[in-house]
């Protein structure tokens, strides 16, 4: 799997988990039946999936670039 595809998949997973999880936590905090609000939770998860898929490659590339530019630690 190419780094671009891997970053896209990671971004999708993180985005969907974060936004869907936050929506579910807010529903539980409001003491609302999750079965009654599953559609809005899934909509937020879908939005997170989309945003994560778009931002994942950008973030992954920035992280790889940052790690490559660091000098190697010196050993005593």
- Residues 7-46 pLDDT 10s: 999 999 999 999 999 999 999 999 998 888 999 999 999 9
Residue ranges per domain, the chain?
3-61
> Is the pLDDT assigned to residue 72 strictly greater than 80?
no
Given CA atoms 13, 14, 19, 20 in this order, what sign does their dihedral have? positive
So what's the pLDDT on residue 54? 95
Q: Mean per-residue pLDDT for 40-65?
A: 94
Backbone angle region of 51, left / alpha / beta, with phi > 0 → left and psi within -120 to 50 → alpha: alpha
């Amino acid at each position: 799997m190419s780094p671009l595809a891997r970053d896209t998949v990671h971004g999708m997973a993180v985005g969907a988990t974060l936004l869907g999880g936050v929506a579910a936590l807010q529903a539980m905090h409001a003491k609302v039946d999750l079965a009654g609000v599953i559609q809005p939770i899934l909509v937020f998860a879908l939005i997170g999936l989309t945003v994560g898929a778009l931002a994942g490659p950008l973030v992954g590339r920035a992280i790889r670039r940052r790690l490559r530019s660091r000098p190697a630690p010196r050993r005593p």
